[in-house]
Structure formats: structure tokens, C-alpha cells
Structure 1
Amino acid sequence: MPVDEDSDPIPISSDTRMRVGLGQFMEPTEERLRFIKQLGVNDVLLNLYQYSSNYEHMPDGERMPLSRTGEWSVDDLTTLRERVENAGLRLNAIENVPVSFYGDVMMGGPERDDQLRRLKDRVRNMGAADIPHFGYHWAPAGVWRTGNDTVRGGASVSAFDAEAADESLTHGREYTESEMWENYEYFLREMIPVAEEAGVKLCLHPSDPPMERLGGVPQIARNFENFKRAMDLVPSDNHGLDLCLGCWSEMGADLPAVIRYFGERDELFYVHFRDVEGTIPTFKETFVDEGNYDAYEVLKLLDEVGFDGMMIPDHTPHVEGDSDWEHRGRSFTVGYLRGMLKAMRSERTERELRA
């Protein structure tokens, strides 16, 4: 049986420690799954609405890998999970919503209730297929970048400068903060009971970039206080954070305070482990060892608050010879995280022996 190689052998199915995952692609090919296993990683996250040259941003009727029906049926999702498991891995999460959500569910459009009905069916089916996490965002403007930049060795990264951002309206008019909160609360009241019944955890990702407003739309998932409000609107053990460290770094947030607050409430479900240089209104992506925060201190703090989930590389620099999935850049972050985990656990063992 596959094991976690960091210390004592632990079966994948029962390993609930903080650990490294990998993914953020749409199609789990045999080649990609072998690569993940070769890196010593056991958890996989699939990004089923991600844009690629072969898929347009999906309207309703969106497809998924292996789908026979055009919907995320229990059989389709079970087949997807089994494909991952056959490579000695675990399908830990699916993330992202259809782009059509941006105009209807998030903005209160005419197709909102029909789209929510479809999402409810898919969350139920995820539960029946034993896929535990569904990551989502509440950023109708999408991920905004204004250009590219370079970091060490000429590695290419994305960058944001508010002064260079397109100020045109993305949804036809200016929206108010209260409208966005009303739409979000409606979404939660509809979705959380379904997630609870299905045994699936909903994981909120921050706005990226966490500006107050983009394209005429308030970005409500932009700061610490708003995340507190989001978690308290409809309290549930099945609603928490996709803790994107890069976005919190972009905010200039007090990361220790954020991690302690949500960690003590058991609301940290999984982590996007990345960083940036600078904070809004101007920043650029960078390697995980060169950003605004001390990655090792963040890792130790996650351990201190009892985080026992998956951490994945996210938005890594595009290094020499990289693929469109940036597998080389991601593998650097995987190795860095696994090395830090081993060092942290060794330090803990030494402390326990001295005690």
C-alpha cells in the first residue's frame, strides 16, 4: 500500500497530518499522476473549470474529464477518483465554479437558482463519490493581472499594478457592497445545508487581487474582517477557508493573526502555498522562498494551530523548460515544502526528547 515517506509509514487513506499535495489541472493523465507520485506527494487537487487551449471557459452544460453525460454524475466522479487512486494517490479536492456563476450566482442574475440547483447536485454527487473538499471563490471580476515580470534567473511571473488596471465595468454597472453581501448570503443559505448533508466542505478562496473594487464590483473576500463576516454569516463545520497565502500576502495581512484565528476555529481546510513581492496596489508573484513572509514560520504556525490538511503549490514562477502547467516550478515548491515539513518534525522530536 502507498505510504507517506516523511516518517513512519502511514496508509494514504488514514494519513490526516499536514501534508503536501499537487494539482490544479483539469485532466489527470497517467503522466501527470506518475509525476506527482514521483515527487513523494499523495494528495491531488483538480481544477475542473480551468481554462486551457482545449477548453473554453465553460458555460452551463460544462464538461469534465471522463464525463459521459455532460454533468458531474456520481459515476463520473467516482471514475475520476478511482483513476487518481489507481496511481497510488488520493483525490482530496475539486475547485472552481463555472464562469457563468460570475454573472448569475454572484451578481444575482436570472439563472441564479437554476445554476445553484446544478451546483447542489454536484456537491451531493461529490459526497457520494467520497471527494471531501470543494474550493470556490467569490470574485466576479476573476483573477486580475496587468502584465508579467521576472524574478531570479529570469523566471517569468505575473504582476499587478492598480494604476495599469482596466477600469471598464465588467458587469455593466457599478455594484454596491451590500448587494454583493446579499448575494453571497443567499448562496451560503442555499449551499451549506446541502454540503452538510453530503459531507463535503466548502472552501472560500480570497479575491485575487484583494482590491476593494475591480471592474465596478466590490471584492468582498479581500481582508481579514470580511473573512470573519463570511464565516459567521451561516456558521457551519462544513464551511471554511482555502487559505491562499499568496492572496493574504498581497493584502499585507497579519498572517499569524489570520492563521491563529481561523485555525482555532477549525476553519482552515486546505492551503495554497505561494507568495508575492509587494502588496496591493502593486505586487508580483515570486518563488515561495523569496516573498513577503517567512515560509518556515508560517508552516510552524499552521502546525501549532493543529492544521492537518493539504498544502499545494499555487501560481509558481515559470522556469526554464517548464510546461503550461508549470510542473517544474511546482516541483520546486513541493520539494521546499517537504523539506520544511521534515525539518519541523525533526525539531519537534528533539524537543520532546529533551522534555
Structure 2
Amino acid sequence: MRMTFRWFGEGNDTVPLRYIKQIPGTDGIVWSLHDVPAGEEWPMDQILELKALADKEGLHIDVVESVNVHEDIKLGLPTRDVYIDNYKRTIRKLGEVGVKVICYNFMPVFDWLRTDLHKRMEDGSTAMFYENGIIAGIDPHELVDQINANPSFTMPGWEPERLQHMKKLIGAYQGVTEEHLWANLDYFLQAIIPVAAENGIKMAIHPDDPPWPVFGLPRIMTCQANFRRLIQLYDHPSNGITLCSGSLGANPANDIVAMIHEFGDRIPFAHIRNIRRYENGDFIESSHRTRDGSVDIAGIVKAYHDIGFTGYVRPDHGRQIWDESCRPGYGLYDRALGIMHLWGLWDGFDYSNNGKGVDRHEQQAATHP
């Protein structure tokens, strides 16, 4: 596997690239142009500027997360073709600079949802938390009114710039079923997968987070059967999955190890992280260690090892520990610990199979002369 680290860009991230370079076994960043609105074509000068920063530290930019999909595409509106054409041009530009994987999602209105960004855990660290009862009892239209009336009240995952359009967006999805969303995803894939394939790029859709409907909005990237359906929509290696153990792991019915074995050749990118589930549907993001949460991280890493996985991985969200001041879920310390835990598991499986570990420097040198 190829270890990477998500980076939000100079001025937007508390973790310098030179620190990422020092995490053993980590040779690339997962990046995006976060200031470009969904649907707009990415400017080449900004792409090259970020590439130059990564090149300076010897880090690759093979994985983009995310090129966001405009809501008109998800809704299937007549205007979608304009945004799909912009998406195609962005894919071509990213292919020119060597990008190999584009992560994206097809979640209506917002990308993810939590109720607390700083829930305190027993050891004093904080982590992102989802309280099921709060979400179940919220009318999203009333919530928008609350936030607009009181700017200090925030809902994690609801970006301020979206709030003015939130009611309109939620209203636009009234009557949009899962089958409608599937049809709109199919239309999108038929348009972009050939372009991705021509440019040596694999598209990798991210699971819905959490993997069930919220606020009455349809969600379709939730389980093994639905990933099977995704692949059948456009059966080509460039149509793939970002398999996120944390998102999928919120539903105990999801067998992530089975997904790895079934879809291994369609997983160009993986997020490996743990969560602790509660019987009432709540969950909190724990350390990556298997016994600290409810997701079988050791079993997941073993499954990737068993299939000879050579795709890209990142540790995904971490806790805030050691008084680090950072973007929630995206500090240096706990994600670096997560990387070393994942490599420790991987190296242990190497040792069990071969009687010796793998020299990571030799492995990287062979890949990157």
C-alpha cells in the first residue's frame, strides 16, 4: 500500500509539508483546491502552484480529494451538462500533472455530518461525535433559521457559504428518490469515466457519511450491494471506490473485510480509521487501534495485505491530542500515530508471511528512483 496524508494547503493547514515528509513510510499528500466552488473548472496555475510546493518536499500529488460534484448534477437538472464539461476539463488538467486518483462523493446538500467537533473522551482528548438523537429530531429548515439568527450556533458539516442556499437546496430534493439519485449518478459516470480513463485517472467515490438517509435526503453509497451496483453502472477500472472504514463502520451491518475481498481491484484509494459505536446509533471517532473502537482495523489491514493491495491509503480522521490546535480531525499527532499503527500491522503481516519485514526505504526507492 502507498501511504498518504491529507493536506488542506498553505495557509489553510496547521501541518507543514516538511512535517508530513518526516512521517515514516509517507510519500504523498491528498489535496484539493478548496477555494474553487463546486462545478467550476480548476485553474491550471493553482494546480501547478500546489504541485510545486509538494515537489519541493519530495511529496507526490497522485491523489485528489475532492473534485466536488455540483448539486445540479446530483439533481439531474438541465444545467448539469455545463458543470460536467467543467469537470471533464478539470480531469484532463489533473492528468497532465500526474494525478492518478480523484476521490469524490454523491451526497446531497452536504458531504458529512457530526453534532460535535470536540467531544471530550475519557483520556482528555477530543474527537468528532455524531449524536443520533439530535439529528433525528432536527427539522433542517428550522436549523437553517437558527444558524442564520445566531451565527455563533454552528452545525459541523454545514459550511457558512452554503447556508443562504440551504433551504432552497433541501427543497429541491423533495421528491428525489434513491432511484432518481442512481439515475443521475449513472448519467455522470457515463460522461466522465471515459475522460478519466483517457487520462490515466481512477475515479473513486466516497461512501456516504453516515451511511444512512438523514433529513429525508436520499443516500446511496452505503453498503456492499450498492457498491456492486455502482461498478455495474460503468464496468471499467477507472470507476472505483474510496473505501472508508470509518464512514461504513458506523453501520455494524457493513462487512468491510468482505468488501475489500470483493472490490479489491476497484479500490484505488482507502481511508482507514476507527470509530466507537453505541447501541443508540451514536458514534465517536476513536484512535486507529482496533480495541479502542468498534471497527476491526487489524482485520481490514490484513485483508488489504492478503490481496496484495498497492493502492493509496490515508489514516483519515484523528483525535485532537496533546493540546494540539488544528482543524478538527486533521491534526498531525494522532494521524501520524495512526500511520505508524497501520504500518506496524502491515509489517507484522509481512513478517508472518515471509519471516522478515520489508525495507520501506528500498521499497520506496524501487517505486520512486
For the superposition of Structure 1 and Structure 2, which TM-score range results when normalised by the shorter chain?
0.7 to 0.9
CA-CA distance at 1:30 after TM superposition: 11
In the alignment, which residue of structure 1 is the partner of 2:20?
36
| Cα distance in 1 between the residues matched to 2:62 and 2:300 | 22
**CA RMSD in angstroms, aligned pairs only:** 2.4
In the alignment, which residue of structure 2 is the partner of 1:103?
71
In the alignment, which residue of structure 2 is the partner of 1:231?
231
| 2:317 aligned to which of 306, 315, 318 | 315
Contact 2:210 2:248 in 1 (8 A): no
In the alignment, which residue of structure 2 is the partner of 1:21?
4
- Deviation string 1:137-163 (CA, Å, 9 cap, x unpaired) is 111132011225333412111222332
Structure 2 gap ranges (5+): 142-168, 358-369
Contact 2:116 2:130 in 1 (8 A): yes
Contact 1:123 1:198 in 2 (8 A): yes
| Cα distance in 1 between the residues matched to 2:185 and 2:39 | 20
| Cα distance in 2 between the residues matched to 1:157 and 1:110 | 41
Identical amino acids, percent of aligned pairs: 26
- Deviation string 1:270-297 (CA, Å, 9 cap, x unpaired) is 1111111116832111111112133222
| Cα distance in 1 between the residues matched to 2:218 and 2:14 | 41
CA-CA distance at 1:133 after TM superposition: 0.8
- Corresponding residue SS for 2:76: coil
* Amino acid in the other structure paired with 1:137: N
Q: Describe how 1:49-198 pairs up with structure 2 within 5 A.
A: 49=34, 58=37, 60-61=39-40, 71-73=42-44, 76-98=46-68, 101-140=69-108, 141-148=110-117, 149-165=119-135, 166-168=138-140, 171-172=170-171, 173-198=174-199
In the alignment, which residue of structure 1 is the partner of 2:267?
268
Which range moved further: 331-340 or 37-46?
331-340
| Cα distance in 1 between the residues matched to 2:93 and 2:73 | 20
In the alignment, which residue of structure 1 is the partner of 2:208?
207
Tell me the TM-score normalised to structure 1 length.
Answer: 0.82
- Corresponding residue SS for 1:251: coil
| Cα distance in 1 between the residues matched to 2:121 and 2:176 | 36
In the alignment, which residue of structure 1 is the partner of 2:159?
none
Contact 2:305 2:346 in 1 (8 A): no
Structure 1 pair 86–26 and aligned structure 2 pair: CA distance change class (3 A): closer
In the alignment, which residue of structure 1 is the partner of 2:308?
306
| Cα distance in 1 between the residues matched to 2:220 and 2:99 | 28
Contact 2:276 2:295 in 1 (8 A): no
Contact 1:156 1:318 in 2 (8 A): yes
In the alignment, which residue of structure 2 is the partner of 1:296?
298
CA-CA distance at 1:343 after TM superposition: 2.1
In the alignment, which residue of structure 2 is the partner of 1:333?
338
Tell me the TM-score normalised to structure 2 length.
Answer: 0.79
* Amino acid in the other structure paired with 1:34: R
| Cα distance in 1 between the residues matched to 2:206 and 2:282 | 20
CA-CA distance at 1:110 after TM superposition: 4.4
Structure 1 pair 351–34 and aligned structure 2 pair: CA distance change class (3 A): closer
* Amino acid in the other structure paired with 2:37: M
In the alignment, which residue of structure 2 is the partner of 1:350?
355
| Cα distance in 1 between the residues matched to 2:101 and 2:299 | 26
CA-CA distance at 1:128 after TM superposition: 1.3
| Cα distance in 2 between the residues matched to 1:30 and 1:59 | 24
- Deviation string 1:303-336 (CA, Å, 9 cap, x unpaired) is 1112112211112111132222411221111221
Larger proportion of strand: 1
Contact 2:3 2:28 in 1 (8 A): yes
Structure 1 gap ranges (5+): 1-17, 50-54, 63-70
Residue 278 of structure 1 pairs with residue 277 of structure 2: yes
